Amino acid sequence: MNKTAIGIDFGGTSVKPGVVRDGKIIEYAERIPTRHHANAESLLGAVVRAVEELRAKHPGVCALGAGLPGIVDSVNGRVSVLTNVPGWVDVGLTDLLEERTGLPATIDNDANAATYAEWLFGAGRDALNVVMVTLGTGVGGGLILDGQLYRGSQLGAGEIGQMTIDPHGLPGHYGNFGALEKYVGNNQIAQRAQALYRESGLTKSEEECSPLALEQLANSGDAVAREVWEEVGFHLGATLCDVVWLLNPDRIVIGGGVAKAGEYVFGPIRKTIAERTMKIFHEKLEIVPAVLGNDAGIIGSAALGLLKTAVA
């Protein structure tokens, strides 16, 4: 697949287009801040202009892909809602992109795009069945099953953050209780760390308890930070045990801020899964950090655009 494509990562605050070749971003366009655009039409205009500028420099571009947050109807190419863009109501994005750029286009959920990128070019490479978990304010995920992106019947699959640790636990957003996201989301981690520091007589701001700060604290030997990561790793591991029993994957890829804590969090994840599953389920299972970082959305979207031209 040594073709060139453009990937567009629609985030909550900005849209990031880039040119991708061989799984690498060879040129980034300037970020397009969503809040500068009062409606979908204005934002789309800016996106199409950025695409045209990139194509002028890279005439070999032969496909376009976009990754967006939330439920994306990748079959019909429609996106019902886009965060921070009030005029965005059920936009037929694939058709609009194809009409205005003349390129074959495809759209997908951003977690699916990132999963596809990590599988093709990153930490999931050469695995048959990959479970991707993305950790941030929310907890998302994506699945590669039998060498294909698995989307589910309403294209909603992979919501690992809504899986339940404890059916009598903290209430979640969707009537669920004890959802993983309520234990390992960035805010929950910060609150838990603040509470533990308070117990040992220390007052820390939420910023001082960000994943990055807690990673540095853990590295410098801070016992509270290490305890927080141990708990986060146990909660992730316990939920992933269910995923492992159900799907028997050969690779679990963990991305996002929390994954930066390295062995402080990967150690307890691996230990929990090894202790709580049958040997054949964990002895060859690799649990690794994502490697593409914030580029995964652009790279995966571009690759899905190319996949569509290959399949069509």
Rounded Cα distance, 1 and 11, in Å: 26
Q: Does 248 bind its own copies (CB under 8 A)?
A: yes
Q: Which is nearer to its own copies, 244 or 299 (CB)?
A: 244
Angle of the 186-199 helix axis to the 211-219 helix axis, nearest 10: 50
Of the candidates 59, 92, 69, the residue with the CA atom closest to the CA atom of residue 16: 69
**Does 78 interact with its own copies (rule: CB under 8 A)?**
no
Instruction: Count the residues of the shown chain that bind its own copies, applying the rule CB under 8 A.
Output: 49
Residue of the chain from 6, 43, 111, 160 that contacts its own copies (CB under 8 A): 160
Q: Is 81 near its own copies (CB under 8 A)?
A: no
* Span 280-309, contacts to its own copies by CB under 8 A: 280-281, 284-285
The count of other CB atoms within 10 Å of the CB of residue 195 is 12
The binder of its own copies chosen from 25, 48, 247, 291 (CB under 8 A):
247
Shortest gap between Cβ of 93 and its own copies (angstroms)? 18
Is residue 175 close enough to count as binding its own copies by CB under 8 A? yes
129 binds its own copies (CB under 8 A): yes
Beta strand extents in the chain (DSSP E only): 4-10, 14-21, 24-28, 32-33, 61-68, 72-73, 78-79, 105-109, 130-135, 139-145, 148-150, 251-256, 286-289
Pairing verdict, β 251-256 and 130-135 = parallel
Among 59, 174, 201, 207, binds its own copies (CB under 8 A): 174
**How large is the C-alpha radius of gyration of the chain?**
20
- How far apart are the C-alpha atoms of 40 and 89, rounded to whole Å? 8
Q: How far apart are CA 98 and CA 198, in angstroms?
A: 55
Q: Is 167 in the site for its own copies (CB under 8 A)?
A: yes
* Closest to its own copies by CB, 23 or 185: 185
Any idea which residue has 């002895």 for tokens?
A: 283
**Does 156 engage in binding with its own copies (CB under 8 A)?**
yes
Question: Terminus-to-terminus CA distance in the chain, angstroms?
Answer: 15
In terms of CB distance, is 51 or 143 closer to its own copies? 143
Calculate helix-pair angle for 296-311, 110-121, nearest 10 degrees. Answer: 80
277 binds its own copies (CB under 8 A): yes
Q: Nearest distance from residue 150's CB to its own copies, in Å?
A: 6
Q: Is the Cα torsion angle 100, 103, 108, 110 positive or negative in sign?
A: negative
Candidate segments 9-17, 61-69, 147-155, 195-203, binder of its own copies by CB under 8 A = 147-155
In the bound state with its own copies, the residue whose beta carbon lies nearer, of 30 and 275, is 275
With binding defined as CB under 8 A, does residue 153 bind its own copies?
yes
**Site for its own copies, rule CB under 8 A:** 71, 127-129, 141, 143, 145-146, 148, 150-160, 162-168, 174-177, 238, 241-243, 245-250, 275-278, 280-281, 284-285
